[in-house]
């Protein structure tokens, strides 16, 4: 079954680099997507691709079956839920989402 796996919670201290890991069992997967979700707001795309990518403080690593989102100089305001998603060549318009990782940031 096509599934995406990510930890339920990651904790970090302010100013650190935090890594959120994601792996999958999706057949013919070719792109990762990382979304940020604050409660009550629309999930927002942070970074995507099939190779390592960077958008501001957000870096994405890429391997065929896994990806990590790295948040540089993490702040208390980064505390939110981060979703990893994968698309497959079998169905290019569908994204398969992980269950989300809640990031906790200690001051």
Partner 1 sequence: DVKVTQSSRYLVKRTGEKVFLECVQDMDHENMFWYRQDPGLGLRLIYFSYDVKMKEKGDIPEGYSVSREKKERFSLILESASTNQTSMYLCASSKTGNSGQPQHFGDGTRLSIL
Q: Which of 45, 55, 63, 65 binds partner 1 (CB under 8 A)?
A: 45
94 binds partner 1 (CB under 8 A): yes
77 binds partner 1 (CB under 8 A): no
- The Cα–Cα gap between 88 and 82 comes to 20
Place of tokens 């096509």: 2
Q: Which of 48, 52, 58, 79 binds partner 1 (CB under 8 A)?
A: 48
44 binds partner 1 (CB under 8 A): yes
Instruction: Please spell the DSSP secondary structure of 57-98, one letter per residue.
Output: TEEE---SSEEEEEESS--GGG-SEEEEEEEETTEEEEEEE-
Considering only the stretches 10-18, 29-37, 56-64, 71-79, report the one whose residues sit in contact with partner 1 under the rule CB under 8 A. Answer: 29-37
The token pair at 52 is: 């390592």
Nearest CA to 52 out of 40, 37, 68, 38 is that of: 68
Binding site for partner 1 (CB under 8 A): 8, 30-31, 33, 35, 40-45, 48, 50, 83, 87, 92-95, 97-100
């Amino acid at each position: 079954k096509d599934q995406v796996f990510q930890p339920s919670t990651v904790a970090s201290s302010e100013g650190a680099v935090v890594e959120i890991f994601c792996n999958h069992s999706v057949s013919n997967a070719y792109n990762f997507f990382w979304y940020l979700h604050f409660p009550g707001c629309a999930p927002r795309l942070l970074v995507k691709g099939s190779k390592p990518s960077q958008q501001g403080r957000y870096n994405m690593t890429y391997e065929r079956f896994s990806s990590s989102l790295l948040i540089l100089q993490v702040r208390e305001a980064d505390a939110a839920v981060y979703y990893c998603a994968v698309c497959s060549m079998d169905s290019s318009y569908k994204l398969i989402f992980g269950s989300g990782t809640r990031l906790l940031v200690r001051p």
